Structure formats: structure tokens, C-alpha cells
Structure 1
Amino acid sequence: MNQQQNPGPVRADADKTDRDAVASRLARDIQEGWYVNLGVGMPTRVSNMIEDDREVVFHSENGILGMGPAPVSEAPDPWLVNASKKAVTLVPGASLFHHGDSFAMIRGGHIDLCVLGAFEVAQNGDLANWTTSSDELLPAVGGAMDLGVGAKRVWILMQHMSRDGEPKLVERCKYPLTAPGAVDRVYTELGVFEIVDGRFKVLELADGVTLDKAQAATGAPLYTA
């Protein structure tokens, strides 16, 4: 008698592959020599996608400049973590400093790019990524508000739709804002979308994704020109 296969692990592996592919796609657009801050969740994957022959300096707001890829050791240094409390490595020449100095870098406009996750992004660039309720008693803003207004560029790395099947690219955010008009570009498993003149411009669609499919998953009009 044939037993039904459990699809759970396969789906989990597929999700990981999809997320790694999107992170890798974003990493290709990071320019040589940029100072880059990575937010929690999917953005942390980006540091693993930079080729060894490229110099990109990763910053963490808890006081690190020069983060490397995630450690491969099963027993990483428990004191060496990023702002998400995830274990990290350091590249040669890395430096550690007080988080006050770290935020001075952010607020002083010295971060070339910040990669964040999001609950919603509006077509005018508004970002909502810290809470899904105005009644939240214990908000977890972290450094996102400072990064949203202090970084030279803000790119979003996220799934195109929520777990409930709701579009995350929208005409107007319904969740409390992290930063108004902050987002420059969005990377999802469906493609790359740039915010130009208050609308979502399609820069690239993923393999096998049509404009109609992307539009059906988006809560705002998509434009190609």
C-alpha cells in the first residue's frame, strides 16, 4: 500500500531556495565599495551572496562594520552577533564600536544602502515594516525608522504576498508607517520593482512570471515604462 508523502519539508526547501534566489538577485545590484545595512529576516541572506572578489562593507546597527557571511561552524562565537541576534562572521579589517557611533553613521547619511523587509510598501514609497496593528503594546521598531530616513537608498527584500495571500505592494499602506516615501526599489520572487514618480515600475520579472501574473498579486498598478 502506497503511503502519502509529506510535502512539508519539500515546501520548506522550496521556500528557502526562492528566498535565496531573490537575495542573490538583489546582491548583484549592490555596487562595489558600498556600505550596506541588512535588516532582519530575508535581508540577512544577502551577505552570503556577495562574491569573494567584490568589496561590499556590511554594517550592523549594534556596532559592526565589516560583517562577513553566516558562520558555518556548529559552535559559532556567541558574543559575535548582528542586530537580529544572529551569529555572524567578520572580514579582515572589520571594526566593532558603540551602537551610538553606529547610529551616528546612519543618521549622518553614511550608509549607501539599507535592505529591509516589509509588511507593506506603497506606490509612493511609504514603508510599513514594524507592526501590523496600531494597538501594538510592545512595538519592535529597532533601527528601521532611522535607517528609513538616514540611508542613501532603501531596497526592500520580501515575499510578494503575505501569508494570508494579501498583496504587499499596495496603493496606500494600511499599517502604521515606518518611514514615508523611503523606498526606492523592491525585490520579490516575482521580480524587481522600482518606485518612480509615485508608481511601481517593473524593472525585471522573474523567469516564468508574466506581467499579468505579477499584476494579479499586486495591490497597485504596475507599469513597464
Structure 2
Amino acid sequence: MNIREIIAKRAALELNDGEVANLGFGMPTQAVNYLPEGVSLIMHTENGAFGIGPKPKYEEANSDVSNAGSEPVTLPPGAAIMSLGTSLGAMRNGYIDVTILGALEVDQKGNIANWAVKRKGLWWPGIGGAMDLTHGTKKIVVTLTHTDKYGNSKIKKEVNLPKTGINCVKTIITEKAVFDVGDDILILREIAPGLTIEEIKEITEADFIVSEDFKEMEI
């Protein structure tokens, strides 16, 4: 199992039966492939639908029916289609129970940066609907690799990149650990098999304490 699969599989355990869920691009969308048995969600896509279904077969795909990442989806009976403005309003006003988002950086205060890197003097590609989701969703789960390609921690004392949302993240999931966000400090809840707490400290810039129910990561 590769790093992305490990993160997606663990992220799926943060989803509960009956929740209204929005999954961000990349690793978050893969979480639905690992839902625990008996868990059924009402899936939302920010471009304007509640109750979307799974990806269709290639020959059954309809280019007019896609999620916010332009990936083909299905609209099973009961799905609701709406304007983008209505969808964004639902996101801002608490109709989404849980959102799993990818991130470039996250910090011990629960801030997330996931929309911009600076290239040729410009910040891009743009903030998109993640800003609305971080404002209005009850539970924000962040997925990302623990370090960048140079070995630098992506889990910061304070994010360096432009923020998407402030003090909003509840849980952080990497291929090496699971943290909850406490009061200006992280709480180490789980650790990947074969690793030690000291090894996690060496690759984590943020301050953290160890949970009383600390255990091995469920992957």
C-alpha cells in the first residue's frame, strides 16, 4: 500500500454513517473507497449537487455530470442539483457535517493552507470553495504527507503559506500519524506501525502532546 492509499484509508475512518460529506481533490476523494462496512454518506460536490453517486463506467459517463474536480459522477434517485451560489451558501451555513481536505501546510492552531504556491512572483492557482468549506463545515479533517520532498515538516507551529481557513481544523492525518487539534497544541492520537514518538518529534515542527488513548494507527 502506497502513502496516498494509507492516508486515504485512515481518513475514511473519520466518516460516520448518515453524514453529509464533502471530499476535496486528490487523496480525500479516495477515502470513499475505504469506507467501513455499514457506513453510507450523503456526498456533496461544491459545483452544485447533494447525494452524488459513484464514478460511472467509462461508456456510461456524461460530461454534464461531474464533481468539482471535473471527474464523472452519477446522480442516483434522490440526488439534488442546484446552482453554484446555492451550493456555496449551503457550505457556508453549516449544512456539511464533515470535509476532508488536502493541504500544503497545517499548524498547531488549526490553520490550513491549501490553495497557493508562489511561482514567477504570483500566488496561484486560487482559493476556490475550500474557503467556504473551512468557514461553515462542522468538522474539518486534513490529509497530507508528513514532510515535503526535502524532509521539512508540513505540520507547522504556524503556516507560512496564505491561509485558506483559520482555527478550523479538527484532525490531521498523514502517512505517519494522526493528530487532533487542541488548544494551540496538537494531540498525537495514533502513530504508524514501526515508528516511535521520538521519531515523530524529529519530523514534526508543531508542538504536540500524547493522547491518553494513544494507539497504533489503524491502516
Q: Do structure 1's residue 121 and structure 2's residue 85 form an aligned pair? A: no
Q: % of aligned pairs identical?
A: 34
Please state how far the C-alpha of 1:96 moved relative to its aligned partner: 1.7
For residues 21-59 of structure 1, the C-alpha deviation after alignment (integer angstroms, 9 at most, x for no partner) is 221212122111111111111111122222563221111
Q: Do structure 1's residue 169 and structure 2's residue 160 form an aligned pair? A: no
Among 193, 209, 212, the alignment partner of 2:179 is 193
Count of equivalent residues: 210
Partner of 1:130: 115
User: Tell me, what secondary structure is at the counterpart of 1:192?
Assistant: strand
Query: Tell me, which stretches of 5 or more residues in structure 1 are unaligned?
Result: 1-13
C-alpha spacing 1:137/1:125, structure 2 compared with 1 (3 Å): closer
Please state how far the C-alpha of 1:205 moved relative to its aligned partner: 0.9
User: Tell me, what secondary structure is at the counterpart of 1:58?
Assistant: strand
**Range moving further from structure 2, 121-130 or 46-55:** 46-55
Please state how far the C-alpha of 1:180 moved relative to its aligned partner: 1.2
> Higher strand proportion, which one?
2
User: Tell me, what secondary structure is at the counterpart of 2:44?
Assistant: strand
The TM-score normalised by the length of structure 1 is 0.85
The TM-score normalised by the length of structure 2 is 0.88
Alignment check: 8 A CA contact 1:47 1:69 kept: no
Distance 1:108 1:73 in 2: 35
Distance 2:167 2:49 in 1: 27
For residues 160-210 of structure 1, the C-alpha deviation after alignment (integer angstroms, 9 at most, x for no partner) is 112332211010111111111111111110121110111111111122222
Q: CA RMSD in A?
A: 2.0
Q: Partner amino acid for 1:171?
A: K
Distance 1:186 1:169 in 2: 9
Among 41, 60, 71, the alignment partner of 1:56 is 41
Query: Tell me, which stretches of 5 or more residues in structure 2 are unaligned?
Result: 212-219
C-alpha spacing 1:168/1:72, structure 2 compared with 1 (3 Å): farther
